[in-house]
Amino acid sequence: MATDARADGSGREPIIVLEEVNKSYGPVHVLKGVSLSVGRGEKVVICGPSGSGKSTLIRCINGLEEHQGGRISVEGVQLGPKTLSAVRREIGMVFQSFNLFPHLTIKENCMLAPMEARGLSKAEAEERSLDYLKRVHIAEHAHKYPAQLSGGQQQRAAIARALCMQPRIMLFDEPTSALDPEMISEVLDTMMELAESGMTMVCVTHEMRFAQKVADRVVFMDQGAIAEVGPPDRLFNSPSSDRLALFLRRIL
Ligand code: ADP
Ligand code: MG
């Protein structure tokens, strides 16, 4: 709300800025003029019904999807064909399906991009890989292949792999939705530790406990637009719209 400086990101230097972003798949208008500013170090949780455009929105932020109207800038650089690779360098992404390479060990999964995209030597990439695998508490599994690990361990490896590129921003798209219930908290704990480290994070998740604890702001999306945005306490305890109230009743 206007009285909360953080409610519009105004208390922080903006690092991700979306202005009137539009996106269609053929005739389907998926994002309808979305504007959002995320401040440095801010944690934003995006929630909303299935099909409301959450994945499309965060995929547009790192250019995995091209937007058709409006502007997206990251660290002051406007996203476009010429700046795509520069913008992507700043951003790590973690998906619902962990997307690890099955034929590589966890350690090798983490070494690949730093060697290929950042020019690290094998020894440097290995050191960095083990460093981040330690931070997500799975260094002891470094030599294993993804299939030898639990879903929670694989997702933590995927987080480590993204961190190995030393991004300034981390995007998460329902990172715990594919996990068995007993593995959800180990991934959320890892994400909370990352949040405490000061990382700028945009997380699509319906884990309201995580949102309550970590989010500076929660964005509620509905039918391709931001229907409500504000601090988690206000959104969850006194939603302004019937749509959000209904959504919360369904998921809580
Ligand atoms: P959410 O993540 O909130 O469930 P999505 O961003 O995945 O929503 O999808 C929003 C809408 O866009 C849905 O109606 C979906 O069917 C449509 N959509 C998503 N990806 C594609 C695609 N590649 N081609 C066509 N339609 C798509
Ligand atoms: Mg989605």
- pLDDT tens string 37-57: 999 999 999 999 999 999 999
Q: How far is the CA of 131 from the centre of ligand 2 (A)?
A: 31
Residue 53 CA: nearest ligand 1 atom is 6
Residue 42 neighbours by CB under 8 Å, 6+ apart = 6, 9, 12, 15, 200, 201, 216, 217
- In this prediction, does ipTM exceed 0.90? yes
Percent of the chain with pLDDT over 90: 93
- Ligand 1 site: residues with CB under 6 angstroms? 25, 28, 30, 48, 50-56
d(CA 80, CA 222): 26
Residue 19 has pLDDT above 50, yes or no: yes
Given a cut of 80, whether residue 195 has pLDDT beyond it is yes
Distance CA 195, CA 174 (A): 16
The SS3 of residue 185 is helix
Per-residue pLDDT band at 3 (split at 50, 70, 90): very low
Ligand located closest to 53 CA: 1
Residue 8 — pLDDT band, cuts 50, 70, 90? low
Read off the pLDDT band of 251 (50, 70, 90): confident
Q: Report how far residue 209's alpha carbon sits from residue 104's, in angstroms, rounded to the nearest whole number.
A: 34
Residue nearest to atom 5 of ligand 1 (CA): 53
Residue 2: is its pLDDT beyond 60? no
Mutation choice for ligand 1 from 30, 171, 223, CB with most ligand atoms inside 8 A:
30
Say whether pLDDT at 9 is over 60: no
Residue 222: which residues within 8 A CB-CB, separation 6 or more? 48, 49, 52, 243, 244, 247
Looking at per-residue pLDDT, the higher value among 72 and 98 belongs to 72
- Quote the ligand 2 centre to 53 CA distance (angstroms): 7
How deeply is 247 buried, as exposed, middle or buried, from its count of CB atoms within 10 A (0-12, 13-18, 19+)?
Answer: buried
| Dist. CA 205 → ligand 2 center (Å) | 9
- Find all residues with CB under 8 Å of 34, minimum gap 6, and list them: 18, 20, 21, 22, 53, 57, 70, 224, 225, 226
Q: Contacts by 97-105 with C-beta closer than 8 Å and gap 24+?
A: 97/178, 98/146, 98/151, 98/154, 98/155, 98/157, 98/158, 98/178, 99/158, 100/146, 100/154, 100/157, 100/158, 100/161, 101/146, 102/145, 102/146, 102/147, 103/145, 104/145, 105/142, 105/143, 105/144, 105/145
DSSP 44: E
Q: Which ligand is nearest to the CA of 96?
A: 2
Q: 227 C-alpha vs ligand 1 centroid, how far in Å?
A: 17
- Across the chain, how many H-helices and E-strands are there? 9, 10
From the alpha carbon of 174, which atom of ligand 1 is closest? 2
Which residue do the tokens 């391709």 mark? 224
Ligand nearest to the CA of 57: 1
Atom number of ligand 1 nearest to Cα 59: 6
Question: What is the number of the ligand 1 atom nearest to the C-alpha of 52?
Answer: 3
Q: Which atom of ligand 1 is nearest to the CA of 204?
A: 2
Q: Whose CA is nearest to atom 27 of ligand 1?
A: 25
Could you tell me the pTM of the whole model?
Answer: 0.94
Distance 54 CA to ligand 2 centre (A): 5
- Give the ligand at the shortest distance from the Cα of 54: 1
- Average of pLDDT values for 76-93? 94
**Mean pLDDT over the full length of the chain:** 93
